[in-house]
């Protein structure tokens, strides 16, 4: 009887914890972070368009001539999935087809996927044309980076 009660209490605790965390998991705000020296500016729509073209390697440099160095996140990570869906406007199948076609046509491969925010931040700080996506709450911790734009995903 006692173990059943403890099991019930533990289950209730876990359920309430999941409910409390659900809004944070279901709807998050992300930020595309660029090197702080990147002078590119514009409205959010222009920023999204240029990031999309640079990430998909349809364009190789930022307006102004800085070579782009796009970084992805780990495959299947919430950051990468949100970026692909919201900024690129593509499904996982669309992404796979894009990279396969690009590889066959020009030898281009997808941007390097980086799982760690700390490592991504170091890479963004090191390369003037670098960019990547992080949780908006993590963006301030990227030394040598600045937020280009934020987006919400659910």
Q: Measured between alpha carbons, how far is 154 from 133 in angstroms, rounded to an integer?
A: 15
Share of the chain above pLDDT 90, in %: 79
Specify the pLDDT at position 8.
40
Share of the chain above pLDDT 70, in %: 82
Segment 10-24 mean pLDDT: 42
Please, which pLDDT band fits residue 143 given cuts at 50, 70 and 90? Answer: very high
Q: Which CATH number is 94's domain given? A: 3.40.190.10
**What is the maximum alpha-carbon separation in the chain?**
72
Q: Between these two residues, 154 and 19, which has the higher pLDDT value?
A: 154
Q: In this predicted model, what pLDDT tens digit does every residue of 60-69 receive, in sequence order?
A: 999 999 999 9
Domain limits for position 125: 27-153
Residue 17 placed within a domain: no
Using an 8 Å Cβ cutoff, are 124 and 37 in contact? no
Residue 13 placed within a domain: no
Number of structural domains the chain divides into? 1
Using an 8 Å Cβ cutoff, are 30 and 150 in contact? yes
Specify the pLDDT at position 3.
55
Residue 2 placed within a domain: no
Residue 138 placed within a domain: yes
């Amino acid at each position: 009887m006692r173990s059943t009660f403890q099991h019930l209490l533990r289950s209730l605790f876990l359920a309430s914890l999941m409910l409390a965390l659900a809004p944070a998991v279901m709807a998050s705000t992300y930020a595309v972070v660029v090197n702080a020296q990147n002078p590119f500016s514009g409205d959010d729509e222009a920023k999204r368009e240029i990031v999309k073209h640079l990430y998909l390697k349809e364009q190789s440099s930022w307006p102004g001539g800085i070579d782009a160095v796009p970084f992805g996140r780990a495959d299947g990570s919430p950051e990468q999935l949100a970026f692909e869906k919201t900024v690129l406007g593509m499904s996982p199948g669309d992404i796979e087809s894009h990279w396969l076609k690009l590889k066959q046509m020009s030898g281009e491969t997808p941007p390097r996927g980086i799982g760690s925010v700390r490592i991504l931040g170091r890479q963004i700080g090191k390369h003037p044309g670098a960019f990547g996506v992080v949780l908006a709450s993590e963006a301030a911790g990227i030394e040598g980076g600045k937020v280009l734009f934020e987006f919400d995903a659910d």
